[in-house]
């Protein structure tokens, strides 16, 4: 999950970088802070031997993230040229290091409105889902929301303006109607916000094999592919007509109506997941970010999509 925030920072020195990458010893190393992280510190380090992004894990991220699983996803997806190359996984140092995509442009929500970018954006998502990669972790969207709800309950806090139990009852009805067996699950990213799409600019295309990469695999698992697209739509919030065009590209002309139906059915799930994530973060995080407001917006989006499913598909709650 990436958003601009006032994450507490510390100075990563060239000595720190060498402790991660000993083969850089003796090099002149330039270190800078990268924008975008809420729950992690992200730095860029470069020298004559390379250019990398170093993610330093934030406090309490182990509540949500299995770093071994993240590293496995990174390795498989970097081998498939879908994400940046994994340079080093250093769990004892609480860091993951990947190749920095030099000269790249981080997509914004408005970029998903552009016809000329549509296939570039959709192709790597399709490649994720057809890669054949596997993880030893099932990401069932309903069970993930229940898991997050239990974490929140264990913190013994109350947010009376959020009817989470009532909304989870709606999600249970939806997951039963969706009824996709876990045997049909594929590897899914589960956090497809605009910030995680990195477009290589024309000047640097000769340095990279693909024109666009998808980064940040902290929440990856084996899940229903439709959830990924639903999560994307709930992050970039494009008009309905653009959702239809993106879905058409994803389907490549096959099973459009079925695919759209499942995507729509999954839309409330990521918003409730991130609502719960936000309320947990508000309780445990020291980061200066309005987690409550972020969660409130996600919650309202979920409730609105539940109403949409009632009117569009006649779902009875």
Q: Do 55 and 125 lie in a common domain?
A: no
Domain boundary among 99, 116, 131: 99
Residue 6 belongs to a domain: no
Q: Give the pLDDT confidence score for residue 253 in this predicted structure.
A: 85
Q: Give the pLDDT confidence score for residue 68 in this predicted structure.
A: 94
Check which CATH number belongs to the domain holding 38 and give it: 3.30.200.20
Entry pTM: 0.92
Q: Give the pLDDT confidence score for residue 309 in this predicted structure.
A: 98
Q: Do 23 and 116 lie in a common domain?
A: no
Q: Do 144 and 241 lie in a common domain?
A: yes
Q: Do 72 and 196 lie in a common domain?
A: no
Q: Do 165 and 285 lie in a common domain?
A: yes
Which residues span the domain enclosing 213? 104-313
Q: Give the pLDDT confidence score for residue 159 in this predicted structure.
A: 96
Q: Give the pLDDT confidence score for residue 220 in this predicted structure.
A: 97
Q: Give the pLDDT confidence score for residue 5 in this predicted structure.
A: 44
Please say whether the beta carbons of 279 and 157 come within 8 A: yes
Residue 7 belongs to a domain: no
Residue 198 belongs to a domain: yes
Number of domains in the chain: 2
Q: CA separation (Å) from 7 to 86, 116, 286, 310?
A: 24, 35, 8, 40
Residue 135 belongs to a domain: yes
User: Could you give the CA distance from residue 249 to residue 121 in angstroms, rounded to a whole number?
Assistant: 10
Residue 55 belongs to a domain: yes
**Cα-based angle 34, 37, 42 (whole degrees, multiple of 5):** 45
DSSP per-residue codes, 113-153: G-GGGHHHHHHHHHHHHTS----S-B--HHHHHHHHHHHHH
What is the distance, to the nearest Å, from the Cα of residue 123 to the centroid of all Cα atoms in its chain? Answer: 17
Q: Do 140 and 33 lie in a common domain?
A: no
Q: Do 161 and 275 lie in a common domain?
A: yes
Check which CATH number belongs to the domain holding 215 and give it: 3.90.1200.10
Kindly report which listed range (13-17, 190-194, 292-296) carries the lowest average pLDDT score.
13-17
Residue 4 belongs to a domain: no
What is the tens place of the pLDDT at every residue in 251-266?
998 999 999 999 999 9
Burial of 106 (0-12, 13-18, 19+ CB in 10 A): middle
Residue 199 belongs to a domain: yes
Q: Give the pLDDT confidence score for residue 9 in this predicted structure.
A: 54
Q: Give the pLDDT confidence score for residue 65 in this predicted structure.
A: 87
User: Could you give the CA distance from residue 202 to residue 54 in angstroms, rounded to a whole number?
Assistant: 25
Question: Is a pLDDT exceeding 50 seen at residue 206?
Answer: yes
Domain boundary among 77, 99, 121: 99
Backbone φ and ψ of 176, nearest 5°:
-70, -35
Q: Do 153 and 271 lie in a common domain?
A: yes
What is the tens place of the pLDDT at every residue in 34-60?
876 667 889 999 999 999 999 998 777
Q: Do 255 and 170 lie in a common domain?
A: yes
Q: Do 198 and 121 lie in a common domain?
A: yes
Q: Do 146 and 278 lie in a common domain?
A: yes
Q: Give the pLDDT confidence score for residue 7 in this predicted structure.
A: 44
Residue 147 belongs to a domain: yes
Q: Give the pLDDT confidence score for residue 21 in this predicted structure.
A: 95
Q: Do 110 and 53 lie in a common domain?
A: no
User: Could you give the CA distance from residue 120 to residue 210 in angstroms, rounded to a whole number?
Assistant: 10
């Amino acid at each position: 999950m990436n958003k601009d925030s006032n994450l507490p920072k510390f100075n990563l020195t060239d000595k720190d970088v060498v402790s991660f990458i000993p083969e850089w010893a003796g090099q002149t190393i330039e270190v800078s802070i990268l924008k975008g992280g809420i729950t992690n510190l992200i730095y860029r380090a470069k020298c004559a031997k390379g250019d990398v992004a170093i993610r330093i894990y934030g406090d309490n991220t182990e509540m949500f993230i299995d770093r071994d699983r993240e590293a496995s996803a990174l390795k498989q997806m970097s081998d498939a040229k879908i994400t940046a190359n994994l340079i080093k996984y250093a769990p004892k140092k609480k860091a993951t290091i990947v190749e920095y995509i030099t000269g790249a442009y981080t997509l914004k929500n408005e970029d998903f409105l552009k016809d000329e970018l549509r296939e570039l954006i959709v192709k790597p998502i399709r490649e994720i889902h057809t890669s054949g990669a596997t993880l030893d972790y099932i990401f069932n969207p309903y069970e993930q929301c229940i898991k997050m709800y239990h974490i929140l309950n264990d913190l013994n806090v109350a947010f009376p303006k959020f009817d989470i139990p009532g909304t989870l009852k709606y999600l249970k009805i939806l997951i039963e109607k969706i009824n996709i067996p876990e045997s049909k699950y594929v590897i899914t990213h589960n956090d497809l916000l605009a910030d995680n799409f990195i477009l290589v600019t024309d000047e640097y295309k000769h340095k990279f094999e693909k024109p666009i990469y998808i980064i940040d695999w902290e929440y990856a698992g084996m899940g229903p592919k439709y959830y990924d697209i639903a999560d994307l739509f709930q992050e970039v919030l494009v008009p309905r007509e653009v959702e239809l065009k993106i879905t058409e590209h994803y389907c490549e002309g096959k099973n459009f109506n079925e695919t759209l139906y499942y995507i729509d059915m999954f839309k409330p799930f990521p918003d409730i997941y991130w609502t719960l994530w936000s309320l947990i973060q508000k309780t445990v995080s020291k980061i200066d970010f309005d987690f409550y407001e972020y969660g409130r917006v996600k919650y309202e989006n979920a409730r609105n999509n539940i109403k949409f499913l009632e009117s569009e598909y006649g779902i009875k709650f």
